[in-house]
Amino acid sequence: MSELKEIYLRRGNVAQDYIDISSDIFVEINNYFKIVDCNLNFCKLFNLPRAQIFGLEIIDIINENDRVRFLDIMRRAQRKKFKDGIIKIELVDAKKRVNIHTMKYNPVVDDNNEIRGVFIKFTPFTKRVGDDKSGTLFSSIYSSLTNLYTIYATDKKLRISHLNSSIINILGYSREEMENKEIVEFLVKNKKTEKNIKELFQSMESNGKFTGEVLYQAKNGESIPIYLSVSSLVHNGKVIGSLGIGRDMRDEKKLESDNQAFALKLQSHSKLAEFGMMLQGVAHNMNTPLTGIKSRAQLEHAKLAKFKQMINEKFGEEEDLNKVTDSISKFLSMIDMSVSKLAKIIKNMMTKSRDQQSLIKEQLNLANVMEQELEFIMSNQFFKHKVEKDIKIQSDLPLIFGLYSDFSQSFVNIIKNAIDSMYNSEKKALSIKMFLHDDNIILRIKDSGKGIPKDVGDKIFQPFFTTKPKIGQSEGEEPTGTGIGLDNVISLLKPYNAKMSYESEVGKGTEFTITVPIKENQKKDRG
C-alpha cells in the first residue's frame, strides 16, 4: 500500500503527470462510490471525456460477478480495514469486454482524519511488477513519456544522472553534454528568473518537492518555458537525489499569447462600441442646453422685435421697459449656465481621453477617478434616467501610484455589467460606495439585477465566458457581452495586488467588492 499512498499524497506534483500517462488506471471515489477524479486511461475505459465521468457510479465498470465483493472491499476500506494479498477484479470496458486487473487502494482522508473516499489503482493482471519498486516506477515513467515531457534524475548535489530523449531533443544538447552537470547550468539566469530558481532550491531543501514554471536555456540560446515538478528520490528512508518531470509550455504560451491578442482586439472593438454609445449620449447632453439657448434666443428676439415696434410707435411705459430688461438679463444668465454646462461636458471628454491613453504611472485619488467615470457614464441614457442611484464616495482617500486607465477601465467594466444586469429587472437600483478601511481602499458596487447562478459562479472570471447574449444574438436593445470584462479587471488590477470578490443571489442582484492595498502602492516604481 505504501507505493499507492505515496502516489496519492503527491498528486498535483510529479505523480499528477505520472498517473495521466501511466498504463495503469487510477480513480478516486467518494463514500457513495461515485467518481470524483480519474486519469486518462480510466476515461478510455468508459470511452467518455473526464468531465462527463465525474459523478458516475464506479460499479458500472465492475463485472457483475465481482460487484458484491468489490463493494464489500470498499466498505471495509472506509472503516480502514484492508484485504491482504493480491486482489483480482474483473473490469468491463465501453465495448463490454471483460479484463482481469489487480487492485490496490488507499483511503482518502480530510484534515480531520475522516475518510471521505477511496483512491484506487487498477493494473492489468498480465503486467509483472519487479522487486525494485522504485526502479519499476522510474522505468514506467521513463518509457511512457512523450516528446512533450522531459524527465531527469539527479544525485544529492542535483547533478544529472539520468535523462530521457525528450529533454535532449528540446534543449539541443547531447547526452554527454548534460550528464554529470548540475541542473542549474541549464536554467536561464537573470533578474526575472533569480527569484524562481531560489524558490526551487529552497522548496527542495525544506520539503523535498517543487512545482512551478522555470525557463530552460537551449543550446541555441532559446529560452524554453517548462512546467516542472520535482520530488526527492528516497531509498531505504534516505534521500538519494531527485526526480524531475517537466512539460514543454511553448505551445501553451503561444496559444495564451494568441488568446490575449484576440482578447485585446475584442476589448478594442468593445471600447469603440462603448465609446460610440457614449458619444451619442454626450451629443444628447450637449444638444439639450443648445436647444434651450436657441429656443430662448428666438423668444427674446421676438420680444425685442415687438419692443422695437412699440418704441417706434410710442416711447412706452417704464414698467414695460423694466420687464424687457429683466427678461434680457435672465436670458443672458441662462446662456451663461448652459455654456458652462457644455464646457464641463467637453472638458470631461478631453480629460478622460488624455488620461485613458497615458502609460505613465502617476499619483491617483481613486475617488476622483470614479467621479470622472460616473460623469462620463451619465451619457448612458438608461443609466441616467432609469436607474436609481446611491453613490457615496469618500473624497479624501490616500493617493496611490498607478495608471489611470487600469482603474477607470476596471470601474467602468463592473459598473457596465451592473447596469446591463438590470436591463429586465423591475427594480433598477445601483449602489456605489468607496471608502478607506484598515489601510485599504474599498469599492463596493451593488446592483438589483438578475444575479449570478451558483452553477456558473466559478466561471465568470474566465475569459470569453458571459451570461449575456453574444453580439448579434440579442433581442431588440438587450445588452450583449464578449466575456472579457471581468477577466480584464483581474488582469488590470493584478499589478496592484488588489483583491476582487462578489456575493450574488439570483433574482435579487450582485455586489462586487474590490480591495486595493494602500502602502504597497504608494511607491512609484512598484511593479
> Which residues sit opposite 242 in a β-bridge?
154, 232
The domain defined by 24-126 carries CATH number 3.30.70.3190: no
Which one-letter amino acid corresponds to residue 422?
M
Q: 135-248: same fold as 24-126?
A: yes
C-alpha cell at 49: 471525456
Given a contact cutoff of 8 angstroms between Cβ atoms, the answer to whether 17 and 247 are in contact is yes
DSSP letters for 133-149 = HHHHHHHHHHHH--TTE
The full set of domain ranges for the chain reads 24-126, 135-248, 252-351, 358-527
DSSP letters for 236-292 = TTEEEEEEEEEEE-HHHHHHHHHHHHHHHHHHHHHHHHHHHHHHHHHHHHHHHHHHH
C-alpha cell at 260: 490575449
Q: How far apart are CA 337 and CA 34, in angstroms?
A: 72
Name the nearest CA neighbour of 348 among 365, 373, 367, 370.
373
Classify the C-alpha dihedral 471-417-350-291 as positive or negative. positive
E strand or H helix that includes residue 35: strand 35-38
Q: What is the pLDDT along the chain (527 residues), one digit of tens a residue?
A: 345 545 555 454 444 555 666 778 888 999 899 998 888 888 888 788 888 888 899 998 898 888 988 998 888 888 888 776 778 888 888 888 888 888 888 888 888 888 888 889 998 876 444 445 555 555 555 555 555 566 677 777 778 887 777 788 888 888 888 888 888 888 888 777 777 778 877 877 778 788 888 888 888 888 888 888 888 877 777 788 888 888 887 877 776 666 665 555 555 555 555 555 555 556 566 666 666 666 666 676 666 667 666 665 665 555 555 565 566 666 656 666 666 666 666 666 555 555 545 456 788 899 998 998 888 788 778 888 889 999 999 999 999 998 887 888 889 889 988 988 898 888 999 999 999 998 999 999 999 998 888 887 777 777 666 766 665 556 666 676 666 668 778 888 888 999 999 999 998 999 999 999 999 888 766 55
- Tallying the residues shown for the chain, one arrives at 527
DSSP letters for 294-313 = HHHHHHHHHHHHHHHHHHHH
Name the nearest CA neighbour of 282 among 290, 293, 271, 292.
290
Class of CATH domain 358-527: alpha beta
Residue 164 has φ and ψ, to the nearest 5°, of -90, 175
The domain defined by 135-248 carries CATH number 3.40.50.1110: no
Given a contact cutoff of 8 angstroms between Cβ atoms, the answer to whether 356 and 297 are in contact is no
Burial 242-267 (b: 16+ CB within 10 A, else e): bbbbbbbbeeeeeeeeeeeeebeebb
Residues 6+ apart with CB under 8 A from 337: 289
Q: How far apart are CA 137 and CA 204, in angstroms?
A: 21
Q: Where are the alpha helices (DSSP H) in 378-527?
A: 381-386, 404-421, 485-493
Task: Give the global pTM.
Answer: 0.39
Residue 333 has φ and ψ, to the nearest 5°, of -65, -40
Assign 436 to helix, strand or coil.
strand
Name the nearest CA neighbour of 79 among 113, 111, 110, 115.
115
Q: Can you tell me which residue has the cell 536561464?
A: 188
Name the nearest CA neighbour of 445 among 403, 417, 406.
417
Name the nearest CA neighbour of 468 among 493, 444, 486, 494.
486
Tell me the helix, strand and coil percentages in the chain, rounded to 5: 45, 25, 30
pLDDT at 223: 84
DSSP letters for 154-215 = E-TT-BEEEE-HHHHHHH---HHHHTTSBGGGGB--SHHHHHHHHHHHHHHHHHSEEEEEEE
pLDDT at 177: 86
Given a contact cutoff of 8 angstroms between Cβ atoms, the answer to whether 448 and 458 are in contact is no
> Which residues sit opposite 246 in a β-bridge?
150, 228
pLDDT at 14: 42
